[in-house]
Amino acid sequence: MQRLFGIETEYGITLEAEENVDPVKQSIELIKSYRPDDFRPMWDYSGEDPFRDERGFRAATLQEHPDELKYQEADRQRNLSFVEIKSDLILVNGARLYNDHAHPEYSTPECRSLFQLVAHDKAGERILQQCAIRRSEKLGKQVLLYKNNTDFHGHSYGCHDNYLMRRDIPFDYLKESILPFFVTRQIFAGAGKVGFETESGMSAAGFFQLAQRSDFFHVEVSVDTMHNRPIVNTRDEPHADAAKYRRLHGIVGDANMSEYTTALKIGTTALVIDLIEQKRIPDHFALRDPIHTIKEISRDQTYQWQFELANGKTISAIDLQREYLALAQKYLDAESDDTDWVLIEWESVLDELESNPMNLTDRLDWVAKKWLLDEFITEEGLTWDDPWLQSLDLEYHNIDQETGLYYGLEAQGLMRRVVTDQQIDYARHNPPADTRAYFRGKSLEKFRPHVKSVQWDNITFNVKGKSPVSISMNQLIDLDITERYNRILDQSQTVEALVDNL
């Protein structure tokens, strides 16, 4: 599992007891609360091209949710520049915090260790909650943040898991190998949801399904992310040497509150990518109708999760996941602590899902949420179509540790953890030491006044007596080169010395 990976999470934002909230304005002001003394967006957008497609072309347009036109018109009335609206910050821990389509988004720094990534994902929650506290004090109203994927009115916002992988793997093979895994991964990675919906709003509320995002996928493959969403996204932004690498931009997953679920979701996907790079995935995993299947698995109230393969055979999501697991057990090195943990827990969770999913209330988000709702329905004498349940669903994802329902379970010791509060606090203030995020974050910490702009794979300094100097971090995929750059940064007392030494 030696690859860079990271998580991008868009958060739902609103104000307590307010019906008409401008989410763009509130997101901008929330992000400004991170560093009100020195708020300087420095992100360099020149390296981004969301139109470039991995299949070898550049899209002419991107499809947008119908409401996006309303947001764009509102933005034109704000008298703010594009940079001011994005409010794009790089943090000293190497992460990125910005306003993305009416949602505050936190992108973790690149990590190389599974549990390091879980700690940085949770650090994002803590950072945003601190911003919410500061903003609430200034506003005189409570700012509420939700790490979920739907507002129950037809809008879905993303949690994207990203993996650096080899460029030389043919895209068609990647797509056919990863798509069945993505469709079935929700049986343990789903966050749970009351009812189902479409882009036009709620269609039915009287039952519980596995995943929040599954309602919102309509095509197998596309470069789009906001409308007519694909299960496999083809955006080609490797943020590395494009001749060697691609970035698998996974947009199909839910945002998870459970540390265990996050670790299992990312860890199993990373191992499947290992298998894909070894070309171990057979072609008989292909699904007959992936779009229908992803929805049917999520909504299946029997938990049998049966569907049809392209070859006409019927299989369950559990059994197809077992096929991926068997390949990982056979071909991958289990001596790595991360890999060993994933293989053990992957098998254990599949066994429990087959015998009784409710045995996993301490590990999986969808099971924990369903247990909470079942208890509440019994106590209050409700039915599954009661709108109260949607409110409770939402509160499971409230990131306030004092009031969020998930954190209520965690405080009672009812949720299994994989990182400590100390590790999360460390991740709030420190980048991973073995990735290029260290160079990015520590450069900002040491030489903030001299930093002109930053990108994932590039940082530009204003150096006295010279034109701005850009340092590429494209080669900091290699661990030895990463350690060399990071060591030089630690030893350099001035930005001039850093540039000269590099």
> Among 27-31, 51-55, 72-76, 441-445, where is mean pLDDT lowest?
72-76
Per the prediction, the chain carries an average pLDDT of 94
Which residues 6+ apart lie within 8 Å of 7 measured at CB? 107, 108, 117, 120, 121, 159, 160, 161, 162, 262, 266
Comparing 69 with 99, which gets the higher pLDDT?
99
Q: What is the pLDDT of residue 1?
A: 67
- The one catalytic residue in 49, 53, 75, 100 is 100
Q: What is the pLDDT of residue 116?
A: 98
Quick: pLDDT tens for 304-351. 999 999 999 999 999 999 999 999 999 998 778 999 999 999 999 999
In this prediction, residues 40-49 reach a mean pLDDT of 87
DSSP symbol at 191: -
pLDDT category at 49 given cuts 50, 70, 90 is confident
43 close to 107: Cβ distance less than 8 angstroms: no
In this prediction, residues 460-482 reach a mean pLDDT of 94
**CA angle centred on 40, ends 37 and 42, rounded to 5°:** 155
Helix (H) / strand (E) element for 106: namely strand 104-107
Give the residues across from 308 on adjacent strands: 314
Distance CA 184, CA 81 (A): 42
pLDDT category at 285 given cuts 50, 70, 90 is very high
Query: Coil, helix or strand for 288?
Result: coil
276 close to 269: Cβ distance less than 8 angstroms: no
Tell whether the model's pLDDT for residue 461 goes beyond 90. yes
Quick: pLDDT tens for 392-444. 999 999 999 999 999 999 999 999 999 999 999 999 999 999 999 999 999 99
- Of 427, 436, 476, whose CA–CA distance to 93 is shortest? 427
Query: Coil, helix or strand for 369?
Result: helix
Helix (H) / strand (E) element for 115: namely helix 114-139
Decide if 100 is catalytic.
Answer: yes
- Of 2, 7, 8, 189, whose CA–CA distance to 113 is shortest? 2
Distance CA 346, CA 367 (A): 16
Strand segments, DSSP code E, in 257-372 are 306-308, 314-316
Q: What is the pLDDT of residue 396?
A: 98
Tell whether the model's pLDDT for residue 499 goes beyond 90. yes
Domains annotated on the chain, with CATH: 5-426 (3.30.590), 433-501 (no CATH)
Distance CA 432, CA 463 (A): 26
Tell whether the model's pLDDT for residue 202 goes beyond 70. no
Which residues 6+ apart lie within 8 Å of 77 measured at CB? none
Give the residues across from 68 on adjacent strands: none
